[in-house]
Amino acid sequence: MSDINKVVLAYSGGLDTSVIVRWLQDTYNCEVVTFTADIGQGEEVEPARAKAEALGVKEIYIEDLREEFVRDYVFPMFRANTVYEGEYLLGTSIARPLISRRLIEIANETGADAISHGATGKGNDQVRFELGAYALKPGVKVIAPWREWDLNSREKLLQYCDERNIPVEKKKGKSPYSMDANLLHISYEGINLEDPWAEAEEDMWRWSVSPEAAPDKPTYIELTYKKGDIVAVDGQEMKAHEVLETLNRVAGANGIGRLDIVENRYVGMKSRGCYETPGGTIMLRAHRAIESITLDREVAHLKDSIMPRYAEVIYNGYWWSPEREALQALIDQTQHYVNGTVRLKLYKGNVDVVGRKSEDSLFDEKIATFEEDQGAYDQKDAEGFIKLNALRLRIAAGKGRKL
């Protein structure tokens, strides 16, 4: 007799999670509560309700979390200019802590004994979901079907559906790419992408045109910042998720945001994936531009030095950890004067910064000018500065030391 009476499942309505609903019911003889989050995946989430009802689910949660996702997770991450392994903008990683939090909250609301997810035993997402869950509810039971069952192929999953009359859409031919989408990105894995030498097919991409097919005329866009976050596009104030939706549309139309990488997963293997992050690509470039005129030099360099650690924390699933909160506090402290406007030129896959201005700018034209500065900067001061900084080098050279 199972001690699990009720389970909250992160439910998409697709093949895997539809099978998981019935598998949980059969294996644990328990009630299943489904939770479907709309975080901008670009597909209608309401049909998940009918699919869950057809599987006998009585408690169904479907929530629009787009604004919260961008405001409380994406924006804080971009204040740090976060990039994992020099390229990846963490589109999948940053969505998991929000989903984990709601799974635990719903478990508390419904009196559930456990939570469940559809992440496989090979990927990072199982780690992210579960680290978040344990951080928020230490004693929670987590059920990860992919680590328990033997339904390890699409064919076996479909056979399971046929045997139990589970209604699912069946696609003919090859399995589609394994995809994950939210307002920040779409990821693609599987099929030919499992060969790192194989080029991604053009018809795989969904949000962006190829740079070759992008308009021959550049698009200019202005982003207004307040304390490190974008609050307006071309002078029009927007909510956080509206900003990202707008940037995705404009960037995608200009062939911006495609990425093809081999990354190091936390579980130990290398994985090849393709990503579309059009709006995020603009956000990263623009944020660095506004910081370039508003941040103190040493503060900017400090941020750059901790960014790789911050990126690893998020990638590995430690959003709900004391180290992430400590890093976030430092990062947020640096953003008080990151205010102003950045002007960008978008052209055939490129994002060029062509202007930046701020009332809090530390750029002083009188000092930086190559023309007459009316004594704003005494160039003779540089001589002593250079000699003092060269002192250790001069001493070592005088002792005959070689580099």
Are 322 and 218 part of one and the same domain? yes
- Give the pLDDT of the chain (403 residues) as one tens digit per residue: 478 999 999 999 888 999 999 999 999 999 999 999 999 998 888 889 999 999 999 999 999 999 999 999 999 999 999 999 999 999 999 999 999 999 999 999 999 999 999 999 999 999 999 999 999 999 999 999 999 999 988 889 999 999 998 887 665 544 368 889 999 999 999 989 999 999 999 999 999 999 999 999 999 999 999 999 999 999 999 999 999 999 999 999 999 999 999 999 999 999 999 999 999 999 999 999 999 999 999 999 999 999 999 999 999 999 999 999 999 999 999 999 999 999 999 999 999 999 999 999 999 988 888 888 888 888 999 999 999 999 999 999 999 998 7
| Residue 123 belongs to some domain of the structure | yes
Residue 13 belongs to domain spanning: 6-66+90-164
Are 226 and 325 part of one and the same domain? yes
Contact indicator for 247, 283 with CB cutoff of 8 Å: yes
Other CB atoms within a 10 A radius of the CB of residue 19 amount to 23
Are 142 and 190 part of one and the same domain? no
Q: How far apart are CA 114 and CA 24, in angstroms?
A: 11
Are 226 and 147 part of one and the same domain? no
- Distances in Å between the Cα of 389 and the Cα atoms of 249, 368, 383, 396, 399 are 49, 22, 10, 13, 17
Contact indicator for 7, 28 with CB cutoff of 8 Å: yes
At 338-387, the pLDDT tens digits run: 999 999 999 999 999 999 999 999 999 888 888 888 888 889 999 999 99
| Residue 277 belongs to some domain of the structure | yes
Identify the domain boundary among 164, 188, 210: 164
Number of residues assigned to the chain: 403
Position of tokens 């992440």? 119
Are 157 and 225 part of one and the same domain? no
Are 157 and 220 part of one and the same domain? no
User: Which one is catalytic: 16, 38, 113, 229?
Assistant: 16
User: Which one is catalytic: 71, 72, 178, 271?
Assistant: 178
Question: CA 320 from chain center: how many Å?
Answer: 15
| Residue 1 belongs to some domain of the structure | no
Are 159 and 282 part of one and the same domain? no
Other CB atoms within a 10 A radius of the CB of residue 10 amount to 23
pLDDT of 178:
87
Q: How far apart are CA 129 and CA 93, in angstroms?
A: 10
Q: Which of 10, 327, 319 lies closest to 136, judged by CA?
A: 319
| Residue 169 belongs to some domain of the structure | no
Position of tokens 């509206």? 242
Identify the domain boundary among 105, 137, 164: 164
User: Which one is catalytic: 22, 66, 79, 96?
Assistant: 96
pLDDT of 170:
61
Are 212 and 127 part of one and the same domain? no
Residue ranges in 137-189 assigned as alpha helix (H): 154-164
Q: How far apart are CA 145 and CA 120, in angstroms?
A: 8
- Return the HEC string of 19-69: HHHHHHHHHHCCEEEEEEEECCCCCCCCHHHHHHHHCCCCEEEEEECHHHH
Give 225's contacts (C-beta < 8 A, 6+ positions apart).
231, 286, 287, 290, 338, 339, 340, 341, 342
Kindly report the CATH number assigned to the domain that includes residue 215. 3.90.1260.10
Using the 8-state DSSP alphabet, how is residue 175 labeled? P
User: Which one is catalytic: 18, 66, 116, 125?
Assistant: 125
Annotation marks residue 96 as catalytic: yes
Annotation marks residue 296 as catalytic: no
| Residue 294 belongs to some domain of the structure | yes
| Residue 397 belongs to some domain of the structure | no
| Residue 346 belongs to some domain of the structure | yes
Kindly report the CATH number assigned to the domain that includes residue 107. 3.40.50.620
Q: How far apart are CA 128 and CA 90, in angstroms?
A: 12
| Residue 57 belongs to some domain of the structure | yes
Q: How far apart are CA 302 and CA 85, in angstroms?
A: 18
For CA atoms 36, 38, 41, 46, the dihedral sign is positive
Phi-psi region of 191 (alpha: psi -120 to 50; beta: other; left: phi over 0): left
How many structural domains are present in the chain?
2
Annotation marks residue 164 as catalytic: no
Identify the domain boundary among 138, 164, 190: 164
Burial of 103 (0-12, 13-18, 19+ CB in 10 A): buried
For strand 31-38 and strand 178-181, is the pairing parallel, antiparallel, or unpaired?
unpaired
Are 48 and 191 part of one and the same domain? no
Annotation marks residue 16 as catalytic: yes
Are 191 and 122 part of one and the same domain? no
Are 94 and 62 part of one and the same domain? yes
Are 159 and 185 part of one and the same domain? no
Question: CA 289 from chain center: how many Å?
Answer: 20
